[in-house]
């Protein structure tokens, strides 16, 4: 269970805890700025900021923050003593922000989860230590949830903060962008797709599975998928099309269907397009699209054969290679 899922579950049941976030780092550290871990009031831990001695330290301080309801910042050095004691060899320094998680702000945390899955960007503005604790969420469209806003932003500053990959600190406030999960569209609901869906969900993709066969594209086979669409491949683009920042994985049951989907996807190409198949198959499909007038620069966007070359053979291994490539493209874009 991820930190915000756990937070909403705890608050829904009247429990509380502490959310720890890395707000800055210097040097080599296990996780980057923005990484989070939630420590429930029962001591259970969800998420990770790097493990080992860092999380042990956070667990200790989180108990105090939960009890007192006061946010605090900590600076933690992975120094030589840490290396000797814990076997960690990072050698960097992280600054951490610990905030009390209480039912007062349950709607803020619910809205964060909604933004993750719904595709809406937002900012969270949280008061740091030595200030009365407040937490506010502002969506990109101006909607506000939580406490009254403690500071003003120009439109330019707001847009800059929305695009910032790391938390910022301004006037004693911790400001962080809520970035929606990247949207993954999996065309085809065969065995490989089942593993792609499972693995992609574990690394925070919003997964939509599309197939023309209801006995394949169903909740029993894809329990973790966010959306399942049963539609003819040539018709599905009238109803749903990958967003410009989305990811399209084409793994249908045959060349004919792959060709239909690839042609449809290329009409408004997303960030990533990958298609399974041999080099011979890819050449045949590409040649056909060239005859139909598809530009060469569009064809160069397609990752085909799909996935990172790890010598994959089984459906599970092929899925790993594909999801690894999705992660590589996502990190490069970020």
Which of 139, 136, 133, 134 shows the shortest CA–CA distance to 114? 139
pLDDT of amino acid 89: 46
Integer angstrom CA distances of residue 224 from 143, 219, 248: 30, 8, 18
Give the model confidence (pLDDT) of 230-261 as tens digits: 999 999 999 899 988 899 999 999 889 999 99
Lowest mean pLDDT segment, chosen from 142-151, 185-194, 200-209, 285-294: 142-151
Output Rg (C-alpha) for the chain, integer angstroms. Answer: 23
- Which of the four pLDDT bands, split at 50, 70 and 90, describes residue 1? low
DSSP string, 124-166: EEEE-TTS---EEEEETTS-EEESPPSS---HHHHHHHHT-SS
Find out whether 207 and 182 touch, Cβ atoms under 8 Å: no
Which of 269, 229, 272 shows the shortest CA–CA distance to 249? 272
Find out whether 248 and 208 touch, Cβ atoms under 8 Å: no
Find out whether 327 and 203 touch, Cβ atoms under 8 Å: yes
Give the model confidence (pLDDT) of 93-123 as tens digits: 888 999 999 999 999 999 999 998 887 899 9
Domains of the chain in sequence order: 3-104 (no CATH), 105-178 (no CATH), 183-333 (3.40.50.720)
Find out whether 173 and 126 touch, Cβ atoms under 8 Å: yes
Structure tokens given for 314 = 């089984």
Measured CA to CA, the distance from residue 212 to residue 119 in angstroms comes to 26
Which of 199, 151, 293 shows the shortest CA–CA distance to 207? 199
Measured CA to CA, the distance from residue 42 to residue 65 in angstroms comes to 13
- Which of the four pLDDT bands, split at 50, 70 and 90, describes residue 86? very low
For residue 98, what is the enclosing H or E element? strand 93-101
Measured CA to CA, the distance from residue 139 to residue 120 in angstroms comes to 7
pLDDT of amino acid 170: 84
Find out whether 286 and 259 touch, Cβ atoms under 8 Å: no
Would you say residue 83 has pLDDT above 70? no
Locus of tokens 């690394």: 203
- Which of the four pLDDT bands, split at 50, 70 and 90, describes residue 28? low
pLDDT of amino acid 151: 79
Locus of tokens 């018709």: 235
Q: How high does pLDDT run on average in the chain?
A: 89
122: three-class secondary structure by DSSP:
strand
């Amino acid at each position: 269970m991820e930190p915000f899922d756990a937070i909403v579950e705890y608050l829904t049941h009247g429990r509380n805890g502490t959310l720890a976030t890395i707000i800055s780092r210097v040097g080599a550290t296990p996780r980057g700025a923005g990484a989070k871990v939630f420590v429930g009031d029962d001591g259970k831990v969800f998420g990770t900021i790097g493990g080992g001695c860092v999380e042990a330290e956070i667990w200790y301080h989180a108990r105090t923050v939960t009890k007192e309801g006061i946010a605090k910042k900590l600076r933690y050095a992975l120094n030589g003593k840490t290396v000797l004691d814990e076997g960690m060899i990072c050698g960097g320094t992280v600054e951490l922000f610990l905030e009390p998680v209480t039912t007062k702000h349950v709607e803020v945390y619910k809205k964060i989860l909604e933004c993750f899955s719904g595709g809406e960007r937002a900012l969270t503005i949280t008061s740091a230590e030595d200030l009365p604790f407040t937490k506010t969420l502002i969506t990109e469209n101006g909607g506000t949830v939580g406490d009254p806003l403690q500071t003003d932003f120009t439109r330019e500053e707001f847009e800059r903060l929305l695009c910032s990959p790391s938390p910022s600190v301004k006037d004693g406030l911790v400001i962080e962008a809520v970035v929606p999960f990247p949207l993954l569209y999996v065309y085809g609901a065969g065995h490989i797709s089942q593993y792609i869906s499972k693995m992609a969900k574990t690394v925070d993709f919003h997964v939509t599975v599309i197939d023309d066969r209801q006995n394949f594209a169903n909740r029993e086979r894809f329990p973790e998928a966010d959306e399942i669409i049963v539609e003819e491949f040539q018709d599905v683009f009238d109803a749903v099309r990958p967003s410009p920042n989305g990811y399209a994985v084409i793994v249908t049951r045959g060349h004919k269907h792959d060709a239909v989907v690839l042609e449809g996807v290329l009409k408004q190409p997303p960030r990533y397009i990958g298609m399974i198949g041999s080099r011979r198959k890819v050449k045949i499909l590409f040649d056909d699209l060239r005859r139909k007038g598809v530009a060469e620069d569009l064809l160069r966007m397609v990752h085909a054969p799909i996935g990172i070359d790890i010598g994959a053979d089984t459906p599970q291994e092929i899925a790993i290679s594909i999801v690894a490539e999705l992660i590589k493209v996502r990190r490069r874009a970020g």
